[in-house]
Structure 1
Amino acid sequence: MGVLTDGFSHVCPNDPEAYARLMIEQKRILATSIPGPKSQAMQQRKLATVSAGVGTGLPVYIEAAQDGILRDIDGNQLIDFGSGIAVTSVGNGNQRVIDAVQRQIADFTHTCFMVTPYEEYLDVCERLAALTPGEHEKRSALFNSGAEAVENAIKIARVATKRQAIVAFDHGYHGRTNLTMALTAKNMPYKDGFGPFASEIYRVPMAYPYRWPTGAEHCLEEAFDGFVAQVQAQVGEDNVAAVIIEPIQGEGGFIVPPDGFLTAAAQWCRDAGILFIADEIQSGLCRTGDWFAVDHEGVVPDLVTTAKGLAGGMPLAGVTGRAELMDAVHTGGLGGTYGGNPVACAAAIAALDSMQEDELCAKARAIEDTILPRLKEIADKTGVIGDIRGRGAMLAIELVSDQVAKTPNAALTAAVNKACHARGLVTLTCGTYGNVFRFLPPLTIAEDLLHEGLDILDEAFTEALA
């Protein structure tokens, strides 16, 4: 693919250098080793000034990005299979987002919606009401991050139901605040040493077909029955305000429950007067080939949390739910100084326009059609991939050292990841056991870059297994 169409001349007409930075050829370039000398020097500045608690998976410092390419300060151009953890779904350099942000910044950057409101906030809430599952009347509240959205969804559920207990699932990830750490299953690096955590949080086994003890064919029925029995025995339905679940788990390893599990869980919650919260922060907004991952089963949650891909890279999150639930909270009970910032809201409207007009759900499904066959080829050739799973442009492979025992192979996962990085492919690992690769390319990525990235992945496996 050649240089992208010139859509930037109005942005910096009198600055040729800035204009050139915006025009990124969709091509991998290795100008130096990865990381290059300038990035290595920059990393020393990071180590001297940034808390050691803030980690960096690949210490290359990015100066510009567009669609499927990230360009670093050494002139390397890397293929992006991570999208900033599913954030830049509409692609960096998206012209609609650029134009919307520039217009809004020129108008005003902040007033605080709780002080003097503005239309952009309303626009986002109206769009979320139209796009989230269900035909019922809805309301939304906007925040800054996924963790804030989850935390506020829990607040809403407790007020609306007048119950306290919250049920979450093994392998789940819901954020890094105190309450969302309590919901999150994985200890390192998210929870270790940070307790005590919020109370009245209960965890149940996740329907994890690949690792279900009696086999994938029994996972649906046994996981659902076990979930219900555990809640009844250890918590009591009448005490549960909400059950929260990622329809496809993210950090926990892109675990996809068997078809029917979400439907059964949502119906059981409805029958018991328990709210069903879909955490769609990573899986939502076209990522899985549907607007929301729950759409695959036609599930209509009571509350939906969104963030990540919502605003094209700007910080914005939302809770959208049934009007009577959202309106149960007293005036002033929801909000935040920056929540629903006007610039982020403008970016969100532009990003949602791109998702609709550019048919990004279909593009996510096309990405799946490209990636899955190659992952199966690599699995057949290497014998170290125990499971391939996911939907759309949210796909994963789980690496094991023994196909029968399904022993997690975190060391090999790290070695393949390192080899990908050295070749100019940005990859991400995840999983409770650190043995899962997740693939989250921008939905606008060129097909030739997808193929090249998969070639690099293949080479990385060969190197790591040599």
Structure 2
Amino acid sequence: MSSTPDLEQSRHLATALPGPRSQALAERQKAAVPAGVATTMPVYAARAAGGILEDVDGNRLIDLASGIAVTSVGAAHPRVVAAVQEQVAQFTHTSFMITPYEGYVAVAEQLDRTAPISGQTRTALFNSGAEAVENAVKVARSYTGKQAVAAFDHAYHGRTTLTMALTAKNMPYKHHFGPFAPEIYRVPGSYPLRDGLSGAEAAQHAISALEKQIGAENLAAVIMEPIQGEGGFIVPAEGFLPAVVEWCKANDVLFIADEVQSGVARTGSWFACEAEGVEPDLMTTAKGIAGGMPLSGVTGRAEVMDSVHPGGLGGTYGGNPVATAAALAVFEAIEDEDLLAKATRIEQVIREHFDQNADDRIAEVRGRGAMMAIELVEPGTREPDAALTAAVAAAVRATGVILLTCGTYGNVIRFLPPLTIGEDLLKEGLSEVTKALQSA
């Protein structure tokens, strides 16, 4: 089954961006949607498939964002489309807490099978990444009987009151939205480009802060993204994660791996924490799990997950049947089309491109699989260059390439293409980044 429905896989600009229909929709948006809901691209989507998004004016754009790592199998994969259509015709909702259905159980079984957690596991389903994180914290507190939770510098875990407290960056995520949830603590992580520390050294700094500022006897869980997302696609130094996890296990503290952005084949393995053999007690998933349908999960050791009393976990829409049908189709597509290998190949293409187009303003090319980034600095320094980053991103978008930035300092360009993108399209999009850098 082809992963690219009938949408020509080529970039084409029928108008300047934004086109007239997008401009008209933007005016309607201003009148109907609050300014706090901001958008990156000034175009309105009409269709998308493979590595292309087509807007309402007929412009075809190269997609290097995947809706923020969501449409990893493409935005209209035929398997997902067929599964959703079939399920919609049967029923759209019953609430699993009222009358359950097989799809929820099947997705839980799939996550239990692929999660890098030994022994028996259990999975509960929810709607969004932030909701999964909140429930992982609830489970950790229930199991341990402790309240404190520690997160790391540069972390991003969501926008709700609890997850904003876990998130490190003020603008735009936390500014003016306090007070935040209590018993949340922040400790130093590992940012090799900026701290210059080995994994063991960075872990010792983190563990010292955990012991001195919180105390293991008060700490329910430590939560971390194996590759930090909004903070800048930061890959911790080798050995950092295993050392932190080892300390957690030795001190009866649960380790929560936040795989919302990095999980479900994005990094070339099912989950990013597999790269260093890290075994979490709890793991959160969302984004790429259901091909664009809202779905998330918390997977954990059976005795941890079962510590919550009946009725303590759930939600009206959690594990919606249409979303679970989509998720099962996503799992099939990943396995049948060998998308883990395709994610690894995307990393090779990106690294080769920037090896061949070296620039002294690129301080680092980093990431794994189809979760890659470049960090931009002032030449000859490590000073973040947010202005250059914004200028390059704007120039690339104007050429018809969907591109995202991130980073605590606003100086990181990230690449999150669909795993189904054609290699020529990927290279074409990367070339526009290089051209924009050369012209900046």
Q: What TM-score, normalized by structure 2, do the two folds share?
A: 0.98
Separation of aligned partners in 1, 2:324 and 2:117: 23
Separation of aligned partners in 2, 1:23 and 1:388: 34
Alpha-carbon shift at residue 376 of structure 1 (Å): 2.7
Alignment match of 2:247 (pick from 268, 286, 301): 268
Aligned: 1:57 with 2:40: yes
- Structure 2 gap ranges (5+): none
Return the letter of the residue paired with 2:183: E
**Are the aligned partners of 1:142 and 1:317 in contact in 2 as well (CA < 8 Å)?**
yes
**1:12 aligned residue:** none
Separation of aligned partners in 2, 1:152 and 1:211: 32
Aligned: 1:168 with 2:160: no
Aligned: 1:257 with 2:236: yes
**Are the aligned partners of 1:207 and 1:261 in contact in 2 as well (CA < 8 Å)?**
yes
Alignment match of 1:424 (pick from 386, 400, 420): 400
Alignment match of 1:449 (pick from 425, 431, 434): 425
Alpha-carbon shift at residue 462 of structure 1 (Å): 2.1
Q: Which deviates further from its counterpart, 98-107 or 131-140?
A: 131-140
- Give matches, 1:104-123, under 5 Å: 104-123=87-106
Return the letter of the residue paired with 1:254: F
Separation of aligned partners in 2, 1:38 and 1:446: 28
What secondary structure is seen at the aligned counterpart in 1 of 2:333? helix
Alignment match of 2:291 (pick from 307, 312, 317): 312
What secondary structure is seen at the aligned counterpart in 2 of 1:318? strand
What secondary structure is seen at the aligned counterpart in 2 of 1:39? helix
- Structure 1 gap ranges (5+): 8-21
Return the letter of the residue paired with 1:393: A
Aligned: 1:383 with 2:389: no
**2:369 aligned residue:** 392
**1:364 aligned residue:** 343
**2:415 aligned residue:** 439
**Are the aligned partners of 1:156 and 1:325 in contact in 2 as well (CA < 8 Å)?**
yes
* 1:301-353 Cα shifts (integer Å, max 9, x gaps): 00010000000110000000001111100111111110000000000000011
* 1:214-256 Cα shifts (integer Å, max 9, x gaps): x2xx331221111111111111111100000000000000000
**2:352 aligned residue:** 373
What secondary structure is seen at the aligned counterpart in 1 of 2:377? strand
- % identical aligned pairs: 60
Separation of aligned partners in 2, 1:388 and 1:462: 17
Return the letter of the residue paired with 1:27: S
Q: What TM-score, normalized by structure 1, do the two folds share?
A: 0.93
Separation of aligned partners in 1, 2:3 and 2:238: 44
Separation of aligned partners in 1, 2:261 and 2:205: 26
Aligned: 1:86 with 2:69: yes
**Are the aligned partners of 2:150 and 2:221 in contact in 1 as well (CA < 8 Å)?**
yes
* 1:360-400 Cα shifts (integer Å, max 9, x gaps): 1100000111111112333x2x3211111101111000111
Return the letter of the residue paired with 2:62: I
Alpha-carbon shift at residue 6 of structure 1 (Å): 10
What secondary structure is seen at the aligned counterpart in 1 of 2:389? helix
- Give matches, 1:119-268, under 5 Å: 119-212=102-195, 215=196, 218-268=197-247
RMSD: 1.2
Where in structure 1 do 4 or more consecutive aligned residues deviate above 2 Å?
4-7
**Are the aligned partners of 1:110 and 1:342 in contact in 2 as well (CA < 8 Å)?**
yes
Return the letter of the residue paired with 2:394: K
What secondary structure is seen at the aligned counterpart in 2 of 1:401? coil
* 1:384-440 Cα shifts (integer Å, max 9, x gaps): 111111011110001111433x11101010000011011001000000011000000
The count of residues paired between Structure 1 and Structure 2 equals 440
What secondary structure is seen at the aligned counterpart in 1 of 2:264? coil
Return the letter of the residue paired with 2:63: D
- Give matches, 1:93-108, under 5 Å: 93-108=76-91
Alpha-carbon shift at residue 135 of structure 1 (Å): 2.8
Alpha-carbon shift at residue 209 of structure 1 (Å): 0.1
* 1:177-228 Cα shifts (integer Å, max 9, x gaps): 000000000000000000000000110111000000xx2xx33122111111
**Are the aligned partners of 2:156 and 2:167 in contact in 1 as well (CA < 8 Å)?**
yes
Alpha-carbon shift at residue 5 of structure 1 (Å): 5.7
Alpha-carbon shift at residue 77 of structure 1 (Å): 0.1
